[in-house]
Structure 1
Amino acid sequence: MTVNPLPRRPPPASDELLSSWIGRLARANHCSVEELCGYLGLGQGRVPEHINDLGQVGWARLCSAVQLTRREIAAMTLPDTTHLGVQYVSSDDFQSCASCAGQTPGLILRHWRFAWSLRCENCGQALVAKHPGDGISDRLRVRATRGAATMKAAVQANDLQRIRRFSLTLSVLKVLGLAYAAPLTSRSQMERFTALGAVDVCDTRPLLGAAILLHGNDKALRELRRVFPQHRGLIDRVHRLSLELDGRLPRKPLHQCNPVNQPDKVMSRPSRKMVSSEALNAARQAVSELGSNADRQALLVRADAIWKRQSCVRR
């Protein structure tokens, strides 16, 4: 069945989402979105956004009304991600471009919904999260940018092995209480950047990153073994690596940290628990400064320097 074309048909913007364009069509023709969807044969429910939402569409009616081909309409939808273990497409507008949205009210572009999109592809401006994060370090931003590129490349190449690795890493973050459901598309910029940074670490130095997270956290270790019994061997391997972190950091006698102009004092030996906590913090800071791709020896030397400096400051 064909229908008359809509009297006003503003052209879709480059990479515009179908639901965004239908909303603009409704405003241009002075009707509600529900009324327009009924006229187009889309039903009265949610405006279609994903490619699998178009299964029952009457294409002849729709194409005639909007004067676009079936391929052009389908290109305005989001991909079906139900077959993957990683949710990299947001179900809502978790970020936007202030510049483009300001010029065209109601505009939503497809790539704004992707986890790896950090900048608007139309104007180049940084995308703004619903809940921008305060105190996000430059190092985390760099890692998140690398993780976003890694995620995009894996999805575009349909690299299922890497995608499964990302999924497992994000599951570990949830078990450890560092992320909630769908962290890659979280409205919280801090949580999202943390998840993207974890994607980068798990793609380059997965065992080191997991060891730092698990160090001294026996409760999390037990929870991981419970949730992922099929990966118990790998979890135990990471646990052994986490126990070796302290042994990799050279120790310097604490009396050498005394200020030169002050007499030596008898110092009590710090507890093993305190040393472990200090060494772990130093290791984390070294990885944060040098990056997860840094040479292992360079990481150890930097962590040792940080640990010594912190020890001197405390004494």
Structure 2
Amino acid sequence: MNVKPLPFRPPPARDELLSSWIGRLAKANHCSVEELCGYLGLGQGRVPERINDPGEMDWARLCSAVQRTRNEIAAMTLPDTVHHAVRYVSRHDFQYCPGCTEQTPGLALRHWRFAWSMTCETCGQSLAAKHPAEAVSDRLLARAARGAQVWETAVASNDLRRLRRMDLTLSIVSILGVGNSASVISMNELERLMALAAVGVGMTRPLLGAAIMLRGNGQVVRELRRVFPQHRRVIERVRGLSRDLDQQLTGLRETGHPTGQETHGMSRPNASESALRAARQAISELGHDANRQALLARADAIWTRSSGVKS
């Protein structure tokens, strides 16, 4: 049965989420969202958001009331992610565009719910987290942006191999205690950026990144063996790489400088710690996808400068 069209029907914004538009329709018609949902035949005051949610709704009633076609309304919902290995669409507004929401209060766009979205496609402004971090480095933002781009490409092309690797990367992040599988859609800005950065590393230099994180942490290595028994060979390879990292840096140092030289009273254990710090700084400067020899050479230069060794 058709119903009369709503008296006031502000048009939906480009890429607006259905729940956002229903909320604005309720405000324009001076009623609550629950009352409007009842009138539109949505039932129980719940606005459907995913494309597989509206199955029970009265389409004829809804389309007549809002003067929109079924396809137009369905296009305002979120994609079905049930069959995907990784969760990349949030069920909640974890971020927003300050400019767009100031211009249109209550607005929520579909792409703001996607894990890889970092800028507003409408105005180009950076999206803001619900719980922003006090300070975020440009380096972390750049790495997170690379991870977001990789994620969007993998989903768009339905690259199952890459999606499985992302799932594995986020599982490792969870085991390390720095996040969980849903961190990429977290309201906490720092947690989300770190998760996206980890995804980027996992797609480019997964072994080197894991080696830095796992060095000296036997408990995490044991936990990885337990959770991922099918990847035991890879875990052992990463473990070996993390142990070899300092030895490689020390070898470069000893090749460039006589073994009898001392570094202002530094003992060998302290030199080893200094070498690790140099390795981390080199990776931070050059990126995880840099050439391995370039990383080692840069780390040796940093180690030499910081320890005061003279050639």
Deviations 1:100-148 (A, max 9, x none): 0000010001111111111100001111111222332222111111111
Q: CA deviation at 1:310?
A: 2.8
Q: In the alignment, what sits opposite 2:114?
A: 114
Q: Matches of 1:115 and 1:182 in 2, distance apart? A: 9
Q: Matches of 1:185 and 1:155 in 2, distance apart? A: 15
Q: Is the 8 A contact 1:117 1:148 kept in 2?
A: yes
Q: In the alignment, what sits opposite 1:244?
A: 244
Q: In the alignment, what sits opposite 1:142?
A: 142
Q: In the alignment, what sits opposite 2:97?
A: 97
Q: CA deviation at 1:268?
A: 5.9
Q: CA deviation at 1:279?
A: 2.5
Deviations 1:261-302 (A, max 9, x none): xxxxxx36333xx44433322212111111122111110011
The residue matched to 2:253 in structure 1 has which SS? coil
Matches within 5 A, 1:199-210: 199-210=199-210
C-alpha change, 1:254 and 1:24, in structure 2 (3 Å) is: farther
Q: Is the 8 A contact 2:167 2:181 kept in 1?
A: no
Matches within 5 A, 1:291-302: 291-302=287-298
Q: In the alignment, what sits opposite 2:267?
A: 269
Q: CA deviation at 1:59?
A: 1.0
Q: CA deviation at 1:2?
A: 1.5
Which of 94-103 and 47-56 deviates more? Answer: 47-56
Q: Residue type matched to 2:278 in 1?
A: A
The residue matched to 1:283 in structure 2 has which SS? helix
* Percent of aligned positions that are identical: 64
Which of 278-287 and 297-306 deviates more? Answer: 278-287
Q: Is the 8 A contact 1:215 1:280 kept in 2?
A: no
Q: CA deviation at 1:311?
A: 2.5
Deviations 1:6-57 (A, max 9, x none): 1110000010000000000001111110011111111114321111211111
Q: Residue type matched to 1:100 in 2?
A: C
Q: In the alignment, what sits opposite 1:73?
A: 73
Q: In the alignment, what sits opposite 1:306?
A: 302
Q: Matches of 1:238 and 1:154 in 2, distance apart? A: 25
In the superposition, the TM-score normalised over structure 2's length comes to: 0.93
Deviations 1:145-190 (A, max 9, x none): 1111110010011111101100100110110111135110111111
1:212 aligns with 2:234: no
1:282 aligns with 2:284: no
Q: In the alignment, what sits opposite 1:129?
A: 129
Matches within 5 A, 1:26-45: 26-45=26-45
C-alpha change, 1:276 and 1:183, in structure 2 (3 Å) is: farther
Q: Matches of 1:118 and 1:292 in 2, distance apart? A: 21
The residue matched to 2:52 in structure 1 has which SS? helix
Q: In the alignment, what sits opposite 2:4?
A: 4
Q: Residue type matched to 1:294 in 2?
A: A
Q: In the alignment, what sits opposite 1:262?
A: none
Q: CA deviation at 1:93?
A: 1.1
C-alpha change, 1:127 and 1:227, in structure 2 (3 Å) is: same
The residue matched to 1:55 in structure 2 has which SS? helix
Q: CA deviation at 1:257?
A: 4.0
C-alpha change, 1:62 and 1:302, in structure 2 (3 Å) is: same
C-alpha change, 1:293 and 1:254, in structure 2 (3 Å) is: farther
Which of 118-127 and 287-296 deviates more? Answer: 287-296
Which of 67-76 and 276-285 deviates more? Answer: 276-285
The residue matched to 2:164 in structure 1 has which SS? helix
Which of 55-64 and 28-37 deviates more? Answer: 55-64
